[in-house]
Amino acid sequence: MSIQELSTEQEVEMITCVIDGFEVTVPKGTLVIRAAEKLGIQIPRFCDHPLLEPAGACRQCLVDIEINGRAFPKPQASCTIPVEKGMVVKTQLTSPVADKAQKGIMELLLINHPLDCPVCDKGGECPLQNQAMSNGRAESRFEGEKRVFEKPVAISSQVLLDRERCVLCARCTRFSEQIAGDPFITLNERGALQQVGIYEDEPFDSYYSGNTVQICPVGALTGTSYRFRARPFDLVSTNSACEHCASGCAMRTDVRRGKTLRRLAGEDSEVNEEWNCDKGRWAFKYEVAKNRVTKPLIRDENGLLQEASWPEALAAAAAGLKNVTAGVLVGGRVTVEDAYGYSKFARVALNTNNIDFRARTHSSEELDFLASTPITATYKDIDKADHVVLINFEPEDESPIIFLRIYKQVKKRAIKVSSIAAFASRGSQKLNANLIKTATGAEVAAINSITGLSSKSVVLVGERAVETPGALSAAAKIIATSGAKLGWIPRRAGEMGALSAGAVPNLLPGNRPLDNASARVDIATVWGSESLPTSTGMSTIEIINSDLQAVVVGGVDPMDISPDAKVKLSKKFIVSFEIRHSDITEIAQVVFPVATVVEKNGSFMDWQGKARKFESAVDQSLNRSDVRILSMLADEIGKPINLPTVKAARNEFESIGNWDGERAAMKATASSEIKSVKADEAFLSSWRNLLDKGSLQDGEENLAGTARQSVVVISQSRANLLSVKESDLVRVSNDYGAVTLPCVIEDIDDSSVHLPRNSIGSQLFRNLGVVSNSIVKVAKA
C-alpha cells in the first residue's frame, strides 16, 4: 500500500527504522524503497511503481537488511519488504555488498539489451540509461552475441514491442491486470525464453494501453504515432488538461517547432493519479488537420465562403446580429472562460437568455435537475463509497478515469456496484456490477427499486438519463431520501464549465437562478449592466426549431442533436466559431477560426466542479480563443462585454463566485407510459463508445485501429427467433433508415437491442434518425 492510500480517518501505527545511518518514521506497511525516498535516498529500480503491487521482478533495488541485529544472508529487494521495528537498512551508498549486487544485476540486464539508444524513443528519458551510468559498471564482461528478435512487433495498432529491449519488469502486465482490468498482455514462456506477448486469440484491446508505453522503463514498448518522431530534448513540455471528457485528467503536452508530437498522462493523485485513456493520449491530430479554418470567412452573394479580414468578418457578423432575435449554441469543447464569454455575450450583446450548451438530446427536466440538485460527489467519495450506483452511465466508455477509480476500489475493498442498463457491458463485467436489467425508457422503476443506500453511497448519473422522462426526478428523489452523494457526469469536457458559467437558459454564472432578482442584481453589478433579460430562454432544440433570425454557434455538431438540425439552422443567419470546416461552416454566413486547446490558455471544469487550468503549449499561435473574438464582436455590435483576454474572463468569472442562496425545489416529472413491442420489434439502446467517429479523433488512424467493432447486441431468445448465430448479420430499421451489423448474443433485456451511437456503420442520427428510447424493427439481414 502506498502512503497516499492510507486513510487519514483511521489511526495508523508508525514504524521507525534506520536507513544509511538516518532514522525515519513511516506508517506500518511502507516498503523499504519508499522509506528511503522519504530521506531523499534514491535506490535504483525498474519493476517498482508506487501504484502497482510489488513484484520484485528486476532485482535492481537490492539492499542489505538486518532486523534486531540479525542480518539477511544476502541482499534483499527493497521494493517487496515492508519496514519493521529494529530494521537497519544499508543501500548502495553505505554497503559495498549492496553496491556490488546492484552493479551485477545491471550487468546482467545489459547483456542482451541492444545498443538502440541513438534511435530509441526512450533515449534521453530512460531509467535504464540513467541507472546504467549511476549504478552500473564502466565495462561489460560479456563477449558473446546478443539475443536478436524481429522488431518491432505490433501488439496493437497503437503499441509496438521491441522484445530484446525488455528487462521483464512486468510493469506493463501488472498495469493491465491490476489497474485497467484488461489482462490481454502477459509474460510468455519461462527462463531465458520469457518475453512479453499477447494472447493468440485476444488482441491488446484496452482503452488504457498507452499507459504501458509511458511506464515502460526501457523503451521496449513504444507508441506507433510517436516512434522515431523526436527526442525528449527536442521537445518543449507544458502541463495541460484533457479536452475529451469530464474526468479532468492532468496531462503533459510535448511540442516541437510549434507542432504537438506527444501527450502524456500528468500526475494528480486526486484525479487521474498517473494514468489516462488512449483517447486523451493520442487523439490530438485534429489540431493540424488539413481542413483547419485559418482565416475569417464570409459567404458571398454566390453562396461561397470567401476569406476576409478580421474587420470585415466582425462587421458582417455584427450586421447580422444587430436588432434581430438571436440565440447562442455552445459546444462541449469550450473552456470555462470561453463558456463565460458566450454567456455574457448572449445577455449583454444580444439581450437574450436563449443560450444552451447541450448539443445533444436534452429536456426541460434536465434543466430543472441541474438548477435544483447539488452535485456533491467527488473522486474521494468514490474511494470511500460502500455502494456505487450507475444510472444510464457507462464509465469505461463515457468517463474512463472514473472507471479506473471504481475498479481500484472493487479490487481493493470489493465495494458493491450497481448498474441500470439493458445489458452488462464489458466495463460493468470488470466491475462485477449488479446489473438491474432494464429496457430503455423503463429506468424510473429500476431507480425506485434501489435500496440500502447510505451517506457513504455514490450515485453517478450519466447524461443519457435525460432520454427517459422521470429518470432524473427519480434519481433526485433517492438522493434526497438516502443522503447519498450525487455525481452528474456529462460526456464532454466543457459541459460542467458551461453550466457553471451560465451557458444555459435558466441559470446565470455561478449557478445563479435566473428567476431570482438578487441573483440577477449580482451579475448585473459585476457586468455593469442596468438590467438583464428576465424570461427563461430557449433550449438547444427550441432554438433550432424556432423562428429566431440569427444563431451564434460555437463548436456544435448538428448531427449530435437531431437529424434535421442542420437543415433548420440553415434558414437562419449563422455565425460560426470553429476549429475546422464542419456541417455548421457549410451553412454559416460568417466563420471565425478559433484556437485549439494547445494554442490557448484556459481551464476545463471536471465532473466534480474542479477547474483544471492549463497554459498554451504552442507559442505564438495566430489563432484566438473564443472569448477574445466574442469580445471584439460585442465591441463591433456596440455593446461591449469587456473580456479582451482569457485572463480577464477568468478573473471576472472567479470574482463572481458560486451562488449561496436558496435553490428552487425540483419539480417532479412523471415517467412516460411503458410501451410494448411486437415479436419483430425492440427498444433501441445505445451509447457512444470511447473510440468512435467523434471529430476530435480525426487523423489518428492508429487510435481508430483499436476502436471496438460495431455490433448489434441481441438476446439469446431473439437470436433463436431470428434463427441467427453469433456474428451473423442483423438489420435494425425504422421508417427513417436501417443499420446492418454482425450480431453479438449477450444477456440483454429480451425486449431490447443495442447499437453503438456514433461508430463505423452505426451513426444512429444519420442512419435511424433516433439514438435511444425508440421502437425499431429487428430482422435477419
> How wide is the angle at C-alpha 559 spanned by C-alphas 554 and 560, nearest 5°?
70
Q: Residues 153, 265, 426, 744: what is their CA dihedral angle, to the nearest 10 degrees?
A: -50
Q: Which CATH number fits domain 367-490: 3.40.50.620, 3.40.50.1100, 3.40.228.10, 3.40.50.720?
A: 3.40.228.10
pLDDT at 9: 54
CB 460 within 8 A of CB 490: no
Grid cell for residue 25 = 518514521
Please state the rounded mean pLDDT for residues 550-570. 96
Query: Do 487 and 461 touch, CB atoms closer than 8 A?
Result: yes
The CATH number of 297-360+495-656, from 3.40.50.740, 3.30.2310.20, 3.90.420.10, 3.40.50.300, is 3.40.50.740
pLDDT of 150-169, one tens digit each? Answer: 889 998 899 999 999 999 99
Contact criterion met (CB below 8 Å) for 78 and 56: no
Over residues 427-452, the pLDDT tens digits come to: 999 999 999 999 999 999 999 999 99
First to last CA, the chain: 53
Whether residue 202 is predicted with pLDDT greater than 80 in this model: the reply is: no
Mean of the pLDDT values across residues 604-625? 92
Rounded to 10°, the helix 646-656/336-344 angle is 80
Q: What does the pLDDT look like over 631-654, one tens digit per residue? A: 999 999 999 999 999 999 999 999
What pLDDT, on the 0 to 100 scale, is given for residue 1? 45
Rg, the chain, Cα only: 28
Q: Report the percentage of the chain scoring pLDDT > 90.
A: 87
Q: How far apart are CA 62 and CA 45, in angstroms?
A: 9
Q: Residues 526-541: what's their mean pLDDT?
A: 94
118: its cell numbers: 541513438
CATH of 681-780, one of 3.10.690.10, 2.40.40.20, 1.10.1760.20, 1.10.260.40: 2.40.40.20
For the chain, the domains span 18-109, 297-360+495-656, 367-490, 681-780
Q: Mind listing the pLDDT tens digit for each residue in 285-306?
A: 998 888 999 999 999 999 999 9
- The CATH topology of domain 18-109 is Ubiquitin-like (UB roll) (3.10.20)
